[in-house]
């Protein structure tokens, strides 16, 4: 499996634009808070590392990953953001609830991005167990929060470049 081959947060092979010109929203789910707090820290510190200004990063909690879609919509409705990062952690339980949440949030954030023509980044872990989540939120497979922040910077630049 790909994730067993490398740290997924290794970006040494790519050019990352400055985040300084852009305004970011972050919506973070409170379910599995030990994991989502680590995702948030990774995303926030990565934005700052690449030049984002603290005053240009708005962070809001939502109860669970299912609410990330409406959280992103509410943020973009304000009209003053260049990208929104959605952070969550959905861990398989005994029922099919996992499937419905994962499908809903993946499709939901895609629809919000299209609705506003703004990047909405899917920084949601969808794992079989907690260890897989810990491994991807600052563990041996990196931090998906870092990856989400890099993606947000790149997509914000592309959006501004193409939209003028
Ligand atoms: N089981 C997980 C949830 N469940 C809660 C839903 O996201 C949602 O808040 C609820 O269905 C009410 O609408 N959320 C996660 O983020 N992670 C989980 O593992
Ligand atoms: C993803 C979930 O909603 C899940 O954690 C809830 O567990 P269960 O499927 O056992 O109700």
pTM higher than 0.80 for the full model? yes
Taking CA atoms only, the protein residue closest to ligand 2 atom 1 is 98
Taking CA atoms only, the protein residue closest to ligand 2 atom 7 is 93
- One DSSP character per residue, the chain reads -GGGTS-TT--TTS-----TT--EEEEEE-TTHHHHHHHHHHHHHHHHHTT--GGGEEEEEESSGGGHHHHHHHHHHTS--SEEEEEEEEE--SSTHHHHHHHHHHHHHHHHHHHHTS-EEEEEEEESSHHHHHHTEEETTEEHHHHHHHHHHHHHHHHHHHH-
Is 117 inside any structural domain? yes
Tens digits of residue pLDDT in 6-39: 556 677 667 899 999 999 999 999 999 999 999 9
Tens digits of residue pLDDT in 64-87: 999 999 999 999 999 999 999 999
3-state SS of 85-101 is EEEEEEECCCCCHHHHH
Is 95 inside any structural domain? yes
Structural domains of the chain, count? 1
Residue 89 in contact with ligand 1 by CB distance below 6 A: yes
Is 2 inside any structural domain? no
Is 3 inside any structural domain? no
Is 9 inside any structural domain? no
pLDDT band at 112 (very low <50, low <70, confident <90, very high): very high
Report the complex ipTM: 0.97
Name the residue range of residue 47's domain.
21-163
32 CA → ligand 1 middle, Å? 9
Is 13 considered catalytic here?
no
Is 73 inside any structural domain? yes
Q: Is 37 annotated as a binding residue?
A: no
CATH of the domain at 72: 3.40.50.960
Give backbone dihedrals phi and psi of 74, rounded to 5 degrees, phi first: -60, -40
Structure token digits, residue 76: 């973009």
Q: For residue 60, what are the CA distances in angstroms to 21, 25, 51? A: 21, 8, 21
d(CA 28, CA 124): 9
Are the C-beta atoms of residues 141 and 3 closer than 8 Å to each other?
yes
Is 6 inside any structural domain? no
Is 118 inside any structural domain? yes
Lowest mean per-residue pLDDT among 14-18, 106-110, 147-151: 14-18
CA 66 to chain CA mean position, Å? 14
CA 151 to chain CA mean position, Å? 8
Q: Is 122 annotated as a binding residue?
A: yes
């Amino acid at each position: 499996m790909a994730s067993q081959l490398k740290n997924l947060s290794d970006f040494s092979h790519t050019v990352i634009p400055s985040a300084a010109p852009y305004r970011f929203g972050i919506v973070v789910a409170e379910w599995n808070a030990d994991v989502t707090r680590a995702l948030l820290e990774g995303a926030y510190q990565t934005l700052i590392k690449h030049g984002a200004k603290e005053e240009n990063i708005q962070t809001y909690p939502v109860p669970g990953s299912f609410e990330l879609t409406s959280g992103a919509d509410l943020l973009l409705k304000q009209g003053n953001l260049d990208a929104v990062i959605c952070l969550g952690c959905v861990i398989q339980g005994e029922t099919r609830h996992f499937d419905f949440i994962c499908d809903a949030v993946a499709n939901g954030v895609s629809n919000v991005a299209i609705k506003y023509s703004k990047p909405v980044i899917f920084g949601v872990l969808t794992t079989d167990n907690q260890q897989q989540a810990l491994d991807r939120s600052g563990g041996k497979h990196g931090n998906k929060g870092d990856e989400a922040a890099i993606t947000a910077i790149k997509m914000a630049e592309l959006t501004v470049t193409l939209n003028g």
